[in-house]
Chain A
Amino acid sequence: MALELKDVSVVAGRKALIEGVSLSVHPGKLTVILGANGAGKSTALSVLAGDSVSAKGEARLDGVPLSSLSPQALAERRAVVLQHAPINFAFKVHEIVSLSRPALRSESNRTYAIEERALHELDLAELAGRSYPTLSGGERQRVQIARALAQLWHHEETGQSSYLLLDEPTAHLDLKHQFVALEAARRFAQQNGGVLCILHDLTLAREFADEIILMRNGNIAAKGGAASILTADTIAEIYDLPAHRAENLALSLSAPMLQ
């Protein structure tokens, strides 16, 4: 059981965005993708989300090719939070979260409970009645994560594994809410969901990742646990950093975290 890419390549124009990428997201695990800008992280995520029709290779959900699943069937099994998309219409926060509901399912105690739980999970209970366009970037980001969680929880009763794909979920968040968001993702994983999360913060990656995938120039450079992956050498290589900076970073990562 996994959401996986098998030897996937995406070409835009003449440039290969990703080339021969294979990776899998397993239920129960939080997998983090790290890499420099343009390394192909978002492209890999969008193929996993079922977006990229031009991709070569195969993307599969529990063995079934994504291309053979309808948008509705896919929506029951995986939810996606992309980097910020503007909304120019004055929806309330609770209305945005209620868009997670499957078509034709109307309000019930159960849908309210799920959406309240999602809002609570992202520390949004106070903001439920606010107008979405008046929120700060970080607050909007949290609303989107809550919306994605609720989308999968609406299908919880089927008992099937589900997958949450997050593209830089912590980008606009303050320190506290970076932890709130990633703790919500981790809890989702602990309840037997699979999480894939693109991050830029190595400290957060070390703290939360069950597995780390390093991407470089459209390829996967390394995979493994935080301890084995976040070394001075790999950091220097992935982010193209001078050796002394990478060493300092690796050193600070290996220091015990202040709780």
Chain B
Amino acid sequence: MSLRNLHEAQERSRRILLLVLAAMLSVSSFLALAVGPVPIGAGDIWAALWPSEDLSRDAQIVQQIRLPRLILGLCVGAVLGVCGAALQGLFRNPLADPGIIGVSSGAALAAGLVIVTGNTFASGFMEWAGNYALPLGAFAGSMIAIVSIYALSQRAGTTSGASLILAGIAINAMAGAALGYLTFLSSDNQLRQLTFWTLGSLGRITWDSLVPVAVLMTIAVALTLRKAAALNTYLLGEREAGHLGLNVERMKKTLIVLGALGVGSAVAVSGIIGFVGLAAPHIIRLFAGADHRIVLPGSALLGALLVMCADLIARTAAAPAELPIGVLTSALGGPFFLWLLGRYRRELF
């Protein structure tokens, strides 16, 4: 079989995969707008998509509550999927996930610090940053987490799987302890906000708080998608990638900043939603191989799909109560991670 045939067959199956994902995403987007305590018809949904003064009650529900939540779910899912895939590439380890290696909890801790102590210790910053204070704080937290994990897990130019996971455990534990202490310090109102962060939720989003983080998440996803070819080369090994002409140091720094930006903004607005960053890239690789030119966009679509489906279940399973979405993804993702550990045990440890 010629390389051209191999390549073209691969391209075809990839296009089909992306199309299927996009179709599933459209259907679930419609469901996310239609299904809820009040079932809403297609006519009202259509009306709600356009600016208008006199909307029906149902259309207003869609416009003010369900639509921002849908967009948030899409952004958070895409960002977690893409950043998960990119971090796995950066660590050259398929077990990296923002939740498992501590990037999300670093961001959550920083967000917690902003909520509980921001107004007391950094009122100037809070005033200056406005709606961006939380995402900026979470960005700083995830940045510190990624850089320290990276430094801890490198051994002679390669990433050790064991030390990556162990560094993640340590960082999760420390962030958990600090968040626990913050919980202890916080007032009732702050406590409710903190719980929201540790369990994850797409609820209570408003257009005002959505726009800044949606912009940041879109930037993170778009710029990371452009690194696909470089990530492929990088997976050959750091020195090997350098020999092929890749500026390795610059690429690593870019990925660290983009990962922190993406995960930080996602956590700032939706709390910790674990395992999406692990599951999405793996499922894509299972169907389409390891090439990042398919893994990154595929993970964006699948991540968005997973988060939206999880949110749909979270909203409807125990209606009118709402389950925390992070609890749901962890309950499903935990067993998936164990399965992966079994699969990779021999190669990675």
Interface residues of A (CB under 8 A from B): 46, 49-51, 70-76, 78-80, 82, 85-92, 94-96, 98-100, 102-103, 107, 109, 112, 115-116, 119, 128-129, 133, 147, 151
Contact = CB atoms under 8 A, between A and B. Distances in A.
B285 interface: yes
B235 A87 contact: yes
A126 B246 CA distance: 29
Contact of A95 (B237, B242, B243, B289): B289
Given A71-B245, A100-B244, A102-B245, A94 B3 contact: yes
Contact of B291 (A86, A88, A95): A95
B264 interface: no
Contacts of A50: 243
Contacts of A89: 92, 94, 235, 285, 290
Interface in B75-103: 92-94
Contacts of A73: 245
Contacts of A51: 239, 242
Contact of A88 (B7, B233, B239, B348): B348
A233 to B, nearest CB: 36
A115 B285 CA distance: 24
A68 to B, nearest CB: 15
A185 B4 CA distance: 26
B30 interface: no
A129 B1 contact: yes
Contacts of B244: 75, 99-100, 151
Q: Chain B contact residues (Cβ within 8 angstroms of A): what range? A: 20 to 34
A102 B243 CA distance: 11
Contacts of B246: 71, 103
A107 to B, nearest CB: 6
Nearest to A113: B3
Contacts of B229: 103
A95 B295 CA distance: 14
Q: Select the residue from A46, A109, A112 with max chain B CB neighbours within 10 A.
A: A112
Given A88-B92, A116-B3, A128-B1, A99 B233 contact: yes
A87 B289 CA distance: 13
20 contacts: A51-B242, A76-B245, A85-B240, A86-B347, A89-B92, A89-B235, A91-B235, A94-B3, A99-B232, A107-B4, A109-B4, A112-B3, A112-B7, A116-B2, A116-B3, A128-B1, A128-B6, A129-B1, A129-B6, A151-B244
A150 to B, nearest CB: 11
Contacts of A129: 1, 6
A109 B8 CA distance: 13
A99 B236 contact: yes
B243 A49 contact: yes
Given A85-B236, A85-B240, A88-B347, 11 more contacts: A71-B246, A85-B158, A90-B285, A91-B232, A94-B7, A95-B289, A95-B290, A99-B232, A99-B233, A103-B246, A129-B1
A80 B244 CA distance: 9
Interface in B213-233: 229-230, 232-233
Nearest to B7: A107
